[in-house]
Amino acid sequence: MADINIIKDKCVGCKICVGVCPFGAIEVIEKRAEITDRCTLCGACYKSCKFNAIDFKRDERESSDLSEYKGIWVFAEQRYGKLKTVSLELLGKAKELSSMLNTKVSSVLLGHNIESLAHELLAYGADEVLVMDEDWLNDFNDQIYGEAMTALISEYKPEIVLVGATSKGRSLAPYISSSLKTGLTADCTGLNIDEEKLLVQTRPAFGGNLMAEIVCPNNRPQMATVRPKVFKPLEPDYERKGKITKIHREPIGGFVKLIRNIDNSDGLSLSDAEIIVSVGRGVGSAKNIQLAKELADALGGVLGSSRPVVDMGWMPYSRQVGQTGKTVAPKVYIACGISGAIQHLAGLADIETIIAINQDPDAPIFKVANYGIVGDVKEILPVLIKRIKGRL
């Protein structure tokens, strides 16, 4: 076990460590810090002490176990034999991180009849692809995939595992991290390596009001999920060589039986769209959304929305942009009757042009917009539709 003690002669009762402890486990009594039984031995406090008054020892066995973990893994999510772009985006980021750790990037590809995708993963930056092509992996099942990944991670010991924050990734990653009793940071917006060679996982916290930097110093692998469009994929290089390792395992059974797949996609996905016309509460009614749809159709784009519009049942959740919806990166984003709350803006990544239509000239959306139209959406949209259709 690790151990922590306050060196009484050195402690001056400055309380810096009290503010740093994430568990409220340090109290200052009579100008001396005391560690309470809420301490989880995370070690967050000892570095903050300017007086070297905190003696923290990691378990030797623990540290040597950690050093056995090497390499970065990216879970290669595929559906019907097509790779999800988020996996390719993660490979690009993993490649950057791997140069800071002087290690290699491996991608893990599970499924059936998917072997040919391994070359695409090499082209997008993987040094090695571990392929498990089995008929019992044909359909995604978080328990079966989770057990398969857990077994592979226990065997190969990667130090970092990255998973796309898709609906599948969001159920798979926690399954793995809880099985392996390691940490997982969901929906990261940034990944970096610190001076101690730990993965620094940045994500919004407290409703997007601050950015938290999270590390996982005592457990392996360090795990993170990242939403689509947060990172850019590398330019693919199909000449790139790498290792493809085929792995065979006995079938793993699960409690859940898949009866049939239902395709509930409603047209071009928000993540892939180049033009998005997005509606906010300011559109006033479900009926008025037709105007935005007409504009989207005229431009060859798709509809998006803010959260209240989804909460009111005017649009399906699959169309929600923002912190609790999708991250989008179209070339053009037209925000109609959207105020520009921080949680909505959290879903706008790397957009070339934002056009905002809002009747309030002080609406925060105008601070991020490249072009702003102050006016009633119900009047502006028909004018835009007429102009655009007139040009076609």
Tokens read off for 388: 């655009």
By CB under 6 A, residue 229 contacts ligand FAD: no
Binds ligand FAD by CB under 6 A, chosen from 216, 315, 341, 385: 341
- Contacts (CB under 6 A) with ligand FAD, residues 264-303: 280-282, 284
Please answer whether residues 4 and 55 qualify as being in contact, where contact means their C-beta atoms are separated by less than 8 angstroms.
yes
| 213 vs 360 by CB, closer to ligand FAD | 360
Query: How near is the Cβ of 168 to ligand FAD at its closest, in Å?
Result: 20
**Span of 97-105, 198-206, 256-264, 307-315 interacting with ligand FAD by CB under 6 A:** 307-315
* Burial grade of 80 (CB within 10 A; 0-12, 13-18, 19 or more): exposed
Tokens read off for 227: 């939403």
Select from 240, 248, 229, 228 the least CA-distant residue to 120.
Answer: 240
**Span of 52-60, 153-161, 165-173, 359-367 interacting with ligand FAD by CB under 6 A:** 359-367
By CB under 6 A, residue 344 contacts ligand FAD: yes
By CB under 6 A, residue 308 contacts ligand FAD: yes
By CB under 6 A, residue 189 contacts ligand FAD: no
Q: Residues 6 or more apart from 366 whose CB is under 8 A from it?
A: 340, 356, 358, 372
By CB under 6 A, residue 322 contacts ligand FAD: yes
Q: Residues 6 or more apart from 281 whose CB is under 8 A from it?
A: 306, 308, 309, 312, 337, 338, 339
Residue carrying structure tokens 């007086």: 51
By CB under 6 A, residue 95 contacts ligand FAD: no
| 107 vs 185 by CB, closer to ligand FAD | 185
Binds ligand FAD by CB under 6 A, chosen from 156, 359, 368, 388: 359
| 33 vs 329 by CB, closer to ligand FAD | 329
Judged by CB under 6 A, how many residues of this single chain contact ligand FAD?
A: 30
Distances (CA, A) of 13 to 10, 36, 52, 54, 266: 9, 15, 12, 12, 60
Q: Helix or strand or coil: residue 73?
A: strand
Please answer whether residues 335 and 297 qualify as being in contact, where contact means their C-beta atoms are separated by less than 8 angstroms.
no
Binds ligand FAD by CB under 6 A, chosen from 93, 104, 220, 307: 307
By CB under 6 A, residue 372 contacts ligand FAD: no
Select from 384, 389, 346, 386 the least CA-distant residue to 368.
Answer: 346
CA distance 353 to 135: 45
| 177 vs 278 by CB, closer to ligand FAD | 278
Query: How near is the Cβ of 294 to ligand FAD at its closest, in Å?
Result: 16
Q: Which residues bind ligand FAD (CB under 6 A)?
A: 207, 280-282, 284, 306-309, 320-325, 337-339, 341, 343-344, 347, 357-360, 363, 376-378
